[in-house]
Structure 1
Amino acid sequence: MEVTHTMLKRTIFIENAFTFDISKLEPVDLILNDLTLDANSALKALNHFLPLLKKDGKILFVLKTGIDYVEPEFEKSLKLLDKFNSGKKKERYYLLSRL
């Protein structure tokens, strides 16, 4: 594990998102999921970290909208609050919360 930077109670880990030991982390208010992966793989990574999300926490889920773009199917335990496209980048943003 490599910790690259700690500042203002933020720590960045360079790790595998699918196998990262989440017990190293405290509960979080926000999960930012911005991975260059297909929708299914990005959702698997998100699901791995969901146990850390606080009750009123939010998720910003980012998908690249290139040639292979597929609309994600979020867990039934998640509520879609908003979605919008980037003006310049080929990305779609989803704001989610727990039900």
Structure 2
Amino acid sequence: MDIKRKSPFIEEVNIKVGDSKVITSNSELAPAYTKKQLLEEQKQETFSIFNIPETFRQISKRSNDLYAFIDNWYGTPYRLGGTSRRGIDCSAFMQEIYGNVL
């Protein structure tokens, strides 16, 4: 008994080495990437990857500054209308955060 298993996807794709077109049985000719197009796409991906660490550093520093600021105010009691470490309300605390950290 001769049983052959074939992938339908692979079965429908015909590629010739060195050809600039990909032919599938379900479609017309579709252009393949050229070497120049692939290199350009890789440059764009590399550029965006290098931007990530700088953005991460900025976010990380801001987070550390925020945590340090909150730690300084930890234990300060809530006081309606308060604006100091003797007692502060929510809106005054947010003003302090935006004025000193963000």
The two structures have a TM-score, normalised by structure 2, of 0.20
Q: Greater share of helix residues, 1 or 2?
A: 2
The two structures have a TM-score, normalised by structure 1, of 0.20
Of structures 1 and 2, the one with the larger relative CO (CA 8 A, separation 6+) is 1
Q: Greater share of strand residues, 1 or 2?
A: 1
